[in-house]
Amino acid sequence: MHPQDRFWRIVLPIGTIAVLSTLLAVGYATEPDRFVRGYSPIQPIAFSHRLHAGDNHIPCLYCHTGAERSRHAGVPAGQTCMNCHAVTRTDKPEVQRVAAAFRADQPILWQRIYSLPDHVYFDHRPHVGAAIACQTCHGEVQTMEQVSREMLMRMGKCLSCHRDAHEVVPASSKITQGPTNCFACHR
Amino acid sequence: MDEPEQIVGLPVLGASDEADGLSRRRFLALLGASAALATGAGCTRNRAAIVPYTKKQDEIVPGVANYYASSFQEGEVAYPVLVKAREGRPIHVEGNAEHPLYQGKTSFHATADLLGLYDPDRLRAPLIDGRPATWKAATQQLARALQDAAKQGKGIALVTPAVLSPTRQALIARLAEALPSVRHIPWEPAADHHDRQAQRELLGEIRRPQFRFDRAQTIVALDADFLGTLGDAVFAIAGFSSMRRPAYFVGPMNRLYVFEGGMSLTGSRADVRIAIRPSALARIAFGLVRAVHLQGGRALPEGLAPSALEPFALHGLPEARPFAAKFATLVKDLCAAGDRSLVLAGPAASVEAHAACLILNRMLGVQGAVTDHAPIAPALSTPDEFKTLLDQMVAGQFAVTVFWDVNPAYDLPQSDDGDSSAWRAAMAKVPWRVRLGLHRDETASTCNLVLPTNHWLESWNDFETSGDALTLQQPVVAPLYETLQGDEVFLRCLAEMGRPVAKTYVDFLKQRWQEEVAPKESPIPFARFWNTCLHDGLFRRRPEPLSACRLDGEACTRAATRTARASSSAGFELVLATDPRVYDGRYANNGWLQELPDPIGRTSWGNPLSLSPADADRLHLKNGDMVSLGHGPALPILRQPGQAEGVLRLTLGHGRWQGSVATGVGTRAWAFAPAPGMRVAPIEAVTPTGDCQDLCLAQHHDTKDGRDIARLWSLAEYARKPQQEIEREKLPSLYDKLEQKGPRWGMAIDLSSCVGCGACVVACQSENNIPVVGPEQVRKGRVMHWMRVDRYYEGDLASPRVINQPMPCQHCENAPCESVCPVQATNHGPDGINQMAYNRCVGTRYCANNCPYKVRRFNFLDFTRATPASIQLAFNPEVTVRPRGVMEKCTFCVQRIRNAEQVAERERRDLKDADVVPACASACPASAIVFGDISNPESRVSKLSRSNRGFHVLEELNTQPAVTYLAALKNPSGEGER
């Protein structure tokens, strides 16, 4: 085979594939976690949002109390679970584990699903204040047995609503867009 | 001086910075390795867990700061503070607005001492003979040692700082009851011992008057740095500045006369400043007594013979003769102001000068008018008593000495790290040397029982801050290490000895408050009273009237005669001044305070010896040249404009040899003191050694070079300006006008109120996670302060006028930095803030080059990674920590703006004028910084911006800054000054 032929027919395609697959592999491996949709880690307690938020209609803010008052929505203290589970469903093994952890003053180490880089200061307050449904970003949590990530935590995702908010705010809302300047979220 | 490499608290910096010949091969190897590392790092995805509380904390909402009222003691003053805590972790200290006197202002030392809590050098567990021990063993050991000493009839010395806490006082009394041989020695090395001696001689008791600078019309300071280091500077600055701020147009202003040798912060604010040797102060003061008596017709105190004042005719004094005109107006001002004047002397002034001040204030009737109710000052040992104590230790009279939060091994003049010092001799004769303190410091290393104490943010206490309020100190965080509060240690000892006492110090404190402080026959239960006091941080009470004390006329005459007889020396006089940053050395391990430049000398990390330019010229010395003073270490010099000829000035508190930050920075000035408490030392000759050292200068231009950067007007000049609000005309611009939405944030800085103390710099550093870079980097001009306070000299450099100018980012409307950024990392927000997006920045530094105000700071190194892990706990979680290679600058505390917006929105209201207070404005004791919406014509900041004193820095560049400065005003006496 002519050397040039070999180049065109073998070296170039294989080389291109090799380079591309390396890039893809490295890209996949180094991609920040937050860019992956469907990330659904196994939690220390098999807590079902479908049961609590869906079937039982417990409002999100009952447990995630910080969303109105703080930047962070927060994960409830063990005590919040015990508000009900001191008396209800005490026969279930998962509930017993929660109760045991509470009695032993041991926190439950929930696996973080939504995370942001350090230079992003997302604030729940204005979003809840604008009556944007939690499901807009977090997905239909009330249908999830095990919570998985619905939103890609990319800046483009933030900006798409901040540029045109009419799809996410209630129809009666006067809000048409969110701030798009740097210091709105970065500081 | 040691080599700077040893000085830095950030050991890794030097190495990584060098562009050492990196070979191509090595570069490629590194490149490959870093690529592999990056891939590896990417695989370990950041899957951190969320850790909730188990029990719901009622007062803590994650992400929302809590504030707790507490108090901070320094020397003979206790400042009320408000501690900001996030998730139970203290991150910032501000003033407590509840306090009737301080009104939300506090000492910047309180703000900076947050680092003391997280200091990695803190002691973590008790040590007996250098070996770690349990607290049980340590307290048993201490109790046994105390009891044995009492049984043998040997002395027990308890050396503490000034005790301002009535409860601690009660505890010490209990201890003395149980162990009669306890001798309590309250020791403050930096206290004004001369003042105390003069009061003792003339009044018979020592009082602590609260000077009301907000009422004083004529102030005379005899080497008294009341705005910087003389006791309660916060209250002094607030009061003084309130009289320097004509609301809009020419109004009454106080006039400050300063006589001093070196240039202090107070001297830099003087309307009339006379540079003079400290030995002449007493004669001048008595000269004023005589002049006020003769010309003002004020009666001399009973018993002071007018003949004793004969030698002090002002026209006859050689020191006063060149300034006859100034003295004439001074006397006239004093007589005219009468009880609205104030004469003060500082620690460098002799006892006699202090006596003359007491006489003058008495003659002018200042008591009650300009000084408030003067409670009895906390007891302090005199330097003589302290010396006797050391002699008695050498004589073997003491079996136990307890050093509780004092560091005599460092601050005694005799002690040094040599072997034959008096200190070592004393220590060798005391079997049990007990150290109660925070750090492994000089004293701790000579002690055989070392008991780590709580930081003040982990402690309970109460303080008598002023006549009308008793403040409380409460722990904001549980002890980080195995430490106990000192008071608690003694309570445990008393329990070991079988004495019935409260179990913990907080019980003891509450018990005492219930018995002695809580109003009797009040229907409010004590628990509620206590909680209210704890919430407010203080208990307001009516001050008990104190009887007026008589001035001993004969003692006055004796002081005058002594002054007349004193001969003046021919050589140099070395003034040992308290350092405005590290105080007497207790904050020397604090990176923020070490890096804060001296307000006048503008040097950080160290204490050069300042001398007058005339003397320096005579000795052919330039900045940084090393000199020897005959004994002690060689010192680098700083040419200080305005310093008196024949006067040398050195600040105390540097030259420690323990502590990872403090070690080797500067020179131990205590070594030059002739005796404890003496603050002026005669020096025969200054000899250049021929060596030179690079000073850590934060500013290299001393003058404005003829440019109109900072304005300073005399009151007469100001009166000639149009007396109306001004509307600044806008120059045409090539750029499009930026779209603006909502408020436009801006700032007004009143240079007339600003004294240049540097509180804003420290508050900014704490609020915005600004790293400490160390002396080596400061020398390279890589200091990271977002807010700096520039200092300019004006006029004749022998007696210059001084302007201080706080310089944050100006948030220009036509920002030169924005247009040159190739990646749009810095741009303009709709609220007028010049934004900086760190994650976009690629580090070209074009913006810094193009910034005419030089407020942009570049992370040349990974300063944060070099910050010890424990200190990273002091970081504000609301502000990004910047990595290497990124530009940063003042953001107008955007995190506070965003939070205020959310709070207002939640309360369904618009932002109010004072809703957003940036850290610098909140910390400014002079209230010189006002922040707000400049698009609202009714806001305080826009009113100030329209003041006829208002100007922009480099206005001609048409950058249209959001920061308006208000020209500084001086009130000189007419004939002499102009």
Compute the distance between CA of residue B48 and CA of residue B431 in angstroms, rounded to an integer.
53
Q: Does B907 touch chain A (CB under 8 A)?
A: no
Residues of chain B in contact with residue A125, where contact means CB-CB under 8 angstroms, are 902, 905-906
Residues B575-603: pLDDT tens digits?
A: 999 999 999 999 999 999 999 999 999 99
Domain count of the fold of chain A:
1
Query: Are residues B205 and B182 part of one domain?
Result: no
| pLDDT computed for residue A152 by the predictor | 85
Domain-embedded: residue B639:
yes
Give me the residues of B, 840-899, that contact A with CB < 8 A.
840, 878-881, 891, 894-895, 898
| Min distance A122 CA to chain B CA atoms (Å) | 11
| pLDDT computed for residue B1 by the predictor | 36
Query: Are residues B206 and B255 part of one domain?
Result: yes
Exposed (0-12), middle (13-18) or buried (19+): which is B147, by Cβ within 10 Å?
middle
Query: Are residues B848 and B923 part of one domain?
Result: yes
Name the domain boundary from B314, B343, B372.
B372
State whether A68 and B905 contact (CB < 8 Å): no
**Minimum CA–CA partner of A79 in chain B:** B55
Residues A66-117: pLDDT tens digits?
A: 999 999 999 999 999 999 999 999 999 999 999 999 999 999 999 989 888 8
* Residue B57: pLDDT band with limits 50, 70, 90: confident
State whether A77 and B54 contact (CB < 8 Å): yes
What DSSP designation does B583 have? B
Among B45, B61, B905, select the one facing A33 at the smallest CB separation.
B45
Residues of chain B in contact with residue A65, where contact means CB-CB under 8 angstroms, are 61
| Min distance B115 CA to chain A CA atoms (Å) | 23
| pLDDT computed for residue B32 by the predictor | 46
Query: Are residues B449 and B344 part of one domain?
Result: no
What DSSP string describes B176-221? HHHSTTEEEEE--TTS-HHHHHHHHHHHSS-B--EE-TTT-SEEEE
Domain-embedded: residue A68:
yes
Name the domain boundary from B372, B404, B434.
B372
Query: Are residues B802 and B835 part of one domain?
Result: yes
Domain count of the fold of chain B:
4
Q: Chain B interface, mutation test: which of A36, A119, A120, most B Cβ atoms within 10 Å? A: A119
Q: Please give the backbone phi and psi of residue B157, each rounded to the nearest 5 degrees, phi first.
A: -100, 130
Q: Does B52 touch chain A (CB under 8 A)?
A: yes
Q: Which amino acid is at B926?
A: A
What is the span of the domain harbouring residue A135? 39-75+110-184
Query: Are residues B776 and B683 part of one domain?
Result: no
**Minimum CA–CA partner of A24 in chain B:** B39
Domain-embedded: residue A114:
yes
Domain-embedded: residue A13:
no
What DSSP designation does B418 have? S
| pLDDT computed for residue B977 by the predictor | 39
Q: Which amino acid is at B545?
A: P
Among B49, B56, B63, select the one facing A77 at the smallest CB separation.
B56
Contact assessment for residue B160 and residue B75, using Cβ atoms and an 8 Å cutoff: no
SS (H, E, C) B27-92: HHHHHHHHHHHHHHHHHCCCCCEECCCCCCCCCCCCCCEEEEEEEEEECCEEEEEEEEEECCEEEE
| pLDDT computed for residue B20 by the predictor | 43
**Minimum CA–CA partner of B882 in chain A:** A119
Query: Are residues B756 and B828 part of one domain?
Result: yes
Residues B282-308: pLDDT tens digits?
A: 999 999 999 999 998 899 988 888 899
Among B827, B878, B881, select the one facing A182 at the smallest CB separation.
B827
Work out the percent of chain B whose per-residue pLDDT is above 70.
93
Give the position of tokens 């911006």. B945
Name every residue whose Cβ is closer than 8 Å to that of residue B610 and which is 6 or more positions away in sequence.
B262, B263, B601, B637, B638, B639, B640, B643, B648, B649, B650
Domain-embedded: residue B32:
no
**Minimum CA–CA partner of A104 in chain B:** B54
Query: Are residues B351 and B232 part of one domain?
Result: yes
Using only C-alpha atoms, chain A has a radius of gyration, in whole angstroms, of 23
State whether A66 and B56 contact (CB < 8 Å): no
* Residue B822: pLDDT band with limits 50, 70, 90: very high
Query: Are residues B344 and B416 part of one domain?
Result: no
State whether A111 and B49 contact (CB < 8 Å): yes
Residues B64-108: pLDDT tens digits?
A: 999 999 999 998 899 999 999 999 999 999 999 999 888 899 999
Compute the distance between CA of residue B246 and CA of residue B896 in angstroms, rounded to an integer.
30
Please give the model's pTM, rounded to 2 decimal places: 0.91
Query: Are residues B138 and B215 part of one domain?
Result: no
Compute the distance between CA of residue B167 and CA of residue B559 in angstroms, rounded to an integer.
37
Name the domain boundary from B349, B372, B395.
B372
Q: Which amino acid is at B50?
A: I
**Minimum CA–CA partner of A31 in chain B:** B42
| pLDDT computed for residue B351 by the predictor | 94
The answer on pLDDT for B111 being more than 90 is yes
Residues of chain B in contact with residue A110, where contact means CB-CB under 8 angstroms, are 49-50, 52
Give the position of tokens 């210091």. A183
Name every residue whose Cβ is closer than 8 Å to that of residue A1 and which is 6 or more positions away in sequence.
A9
Domain-embedded: residue B471:
no
| pLDDT computed for residue B18 by the predictor | 39
Residues of chain A in contact with residue B906, where contact means CB-CB under 8 angstroms, are 68-69, 125, 129
Query: Are residues B356 and B390 part of one domain?
Result: no
Domain-embedded: residue B68:
no
Query: Are residues B852 and B913 part of one domain?
Result: yes
State whether A75 and B50 contact (CB < 8 Å): yes
Give me the residues of A, 76-105, that contact B with CB < 8 A.
76-80, 101-102, 105
Establish, for the pair of chains A and B, how many residue pairs have beta carbons separated by less than 8 Å: 133
Strand partners, B681: B574
For the segment B340-350, the average pLDDT, to the nearest whole number, is 93
| Min distance A132 CA to chain B CA atoms (Å) | 15
Domain-embedded: residue B878:
yes
What is the span of the domain harbouring residue B755? 745-970
State whether A107 and B39 contact (CB < 8 Å): no
Domain-embedded: residue B530:
no
b/e B425-449 (16+ beta carbons within 10 angstroms → b): ebbeebebbbbbbbbbbbbbebbbb
Domain-embedded: residue B536:
no
